[in-house]
Chains A and B, each alone.
Chain A
Amino acid sequence: MTPTVTLEVRDLSTHFHASGTTLKAVDGVSFSVARGKVLGLVGESGSGKTVTGFSIMRLVDPPGFIAGGSILFQGLDLARISNEEMRRLRGNRIAMIFQDPMMTLNPVLRVDTQMVETILAHESTSREEARQRARDALGMVGIPSPDERLRSYPHQFSGGMRQRVAIAIAMLHRPELIIADEPTTALDVTIQGQILAEVQKLTRQFGTSLIWISHDLSVVAALADEIAVMYAGRLVEQGEVGEVLDRPLHPYTKGLIDSVPSRNRRGAPLRQIQGMTPSLANLPSGCSFRTRCPRAAEICQQAPATREWLPGHTARCHRPHHLVEEPA
């Protein structure tokens, strides 16, 4: 049985015009997500992972714009369809969960109003039935006494519960794709565990594809099937989750994994990546990681292309770990 591809992003570029220059927030990113699979999109602040998510949702506002590439959602190119067509997909077949659930929820409307509105926006059904479905959705994400909670306002929920409401709203139309942007970063560990359990149940039960955007490698390790690592607007490494985490090719990925405390002897200095993330306005020529890279050599002054070094495991690097000798 071949897995069906829900989303295929090819060569996506999203640029921002800022004070006379063009910043390439997303620069030629390609990946795909199969049905029922979870892609972990990992990177640090400013790496372009959120802008990638926003581009797929077509939520990038000026001065940002999609400069090139295609976003194939079941054969439909989201980069080219009209705003009206996109509006019909958004919230219906593609949904997004944000880090801050208050971005999704309207603070002055009751939860039932918002949920019923979401259903009626895409379907013609009776208000009564819509309400019933809203109730079921709240129950599904583990909100106790959903009948009463429907009549609450967002501020009457705790942070974890609010995020569940946001997930319930995202799930209302059984979307084929959910983009989750750091949805558990602001939550406590036990609450994060609850949300992860719910999300996992949903992908397994309904075959929803999920793009999980996060800077937390540990969460991605536990949740994702595939992992894609972003640095300065580009995908630098991609592959099956165990493969990438056990055998990272790109020095940046390796640096990220090595700096996780549990990968180090307790009390010993953590292995760290030197320097800091460069500004997009001021990227080094060639490989944008080379100024921080312990393996950089002369060839790195030329931009490396993405190459499939191992089956299903790609990296954008001239001198990947394990495969090219250490510099003398």
Chain B
Amino acid sequence: MSSSPMVELVGIAKRFSKPAGIASRIARRFGGPERATTVHAIDGVDLAIARGQVLGLVGESGCGKSTLGRIVAGIMPPSEGEVRWQGRNVAGATRAEARKAKLGIQMIFQDPMSSLNPRMRVADIVGEAPLVHGLVGRREIDAYVDEQLVSAGLDPAYKRRYPHQFSGGQRQRISIARALAVQPQFLVCDESVAALDVSIQAQVINLFLKLREDLDLTYLFISHDLGVVEHLSDRVAIMYLGRIVEEAPTGEIFARANHPYTQSLLAAVPKIENRKTTFVAVKGEIPSPLNPPAGCHFHPRCPHAFARCRSERPAIRQIAPDHFSACHLNDEPR
């Protein structure tokens, strides 16, 4: 039933390390302690996104979801593992193939003001890439840009303007038009609606839904907002400190969350339907990825943690049809 995935991540890891400064190198020569400053931003992630699917990637700040998005989009190489685009490893591809894959995946960021060049007019922002890549000739570019702006819900009459002359929602539409201009098959949206006001956010979400229908797009939708993710996604993956802890179809994960982290995350989200709730706090802070807890990363905050959680990393495995979770509790007799 399922076709081959559009994008597949196999054993992806990403480490950021700071080169040792001169002081610590000297200190080490004289027998000083070795101080590791390596952040394991992503720690062994496998993920597949099928054609036409919207995968919601949820997690709190510092969990590595943006880094993962950048690796999928090809902006950043992984330290380990393989990114497969339509079944082929991107790293081993010829330059022409790699370029084609990159064009096929476009990214839309949270803050359009820092992802749009403030000194370029909208027409150039949207028209530059298709010209450079030879998708459209110089003579047709004007009409082509108009078409992209219209499909992103902007009036082409404004295309001689600069980004600062637009409101936040319109600016986000400009970055959407720019992404669409290279005819991508896959969009990585990194908190693309987080900075928008409620009424504008609804408009942009609707635009994403419409584009999916019209252009048959596949999405990786990264967000910390569970309400938005629930609305948009077919599948949801929950990330905590560089690892995916649970993955399932949207309805399944919201109805039968398995991982204690997912459960506490869902419980912490205020809902407009719940009036005068008494809030119950999840204990503890999100640990620093510089020094994550051993075993299951969530164990210091987990209400069900036991000895095994402190030493052994739980593997992600299937617990129900199409529902994956990484928790030792699933091995325990109930």
Contacts and interface: CB of A to CB of B under 8 A. Distances in A.
B138 to A, nearest CB: 34
B3 interface: no
A256 B199 contact: yes
B281 A193 contact: yes
B26 interface: no
Interface in A133-153: 142
B117 interface: no
Contacts of B276: 222-223, 225, 241
A261 B205 CA distance: 9
A281 B326 CA distance: 54
Interface string A214-234: 011111011101000000000
A190 B203 contact: no
Interface string A265-280: 0110111110011000
Interface residues of B, number: 45
A190 B287 CA distance: 13
A45 B205 contact: no
Given A44-B197, A266-B230, A222 B60 contact: no
Given A197-B281, A259-B202, A218 B250 contact: no
B268 A190 contact: yes
B285 A270 contact: no
Contacts of A198: 281
B57 to A, nearest CB: 15
Most A CB contacts (10 A, CB to CB) among B198, B209, B226 go to: B198
Given A44-B199, A200-B279, A218 B271 contact: yes
Contact of A221 (B197, B205, B210, B274): B274
A194 interface: yes
Contacts, number: 134
Given A190-B60, A271-B202, A215 B272 contact: no
Given A194-B281, A263-B272, A188 B60 contact: yes
B282 to A, nearest CB: 4
B275 A222 contact: yes
A223 B279 CA distance: 9
**Range for the number of chain A residues in contact with chain B:** 35 or more
A255 interface: yes
B279 A189 contact: no
A309 B275 CA distance: 23
Contact of A262 (B201, B224, B227, B268): B227
Contacts of B61: 188
A223 B231 CA distance: 24
Nearest to A158: B285
B272 A193 contact: no
B13 interface: no
Given A189-B224, A261-B227, A161 B285 contact: yes
Given A190-B286, A256-B199, 17 more contacts: A44-B199, A188-B61, A188-B224, A188-B286, A189-B226, A189-B268, A191-B285, A218-B270, A218-B272, A222-B274, A222-B277, A245-B275, A261-B231, A262-B227, A266-B230, A267-B231, A277-B197
6 contacts: A221-B271, A259-B202, A261-B205, A271-B202, A273-B199, A276-B199
Interface of B: 60-61, 167, 169-170, 197-203, 205-206, 209-210, 224, 226-228, 230-232, 250-251, 264-265, 267-282, 285-286
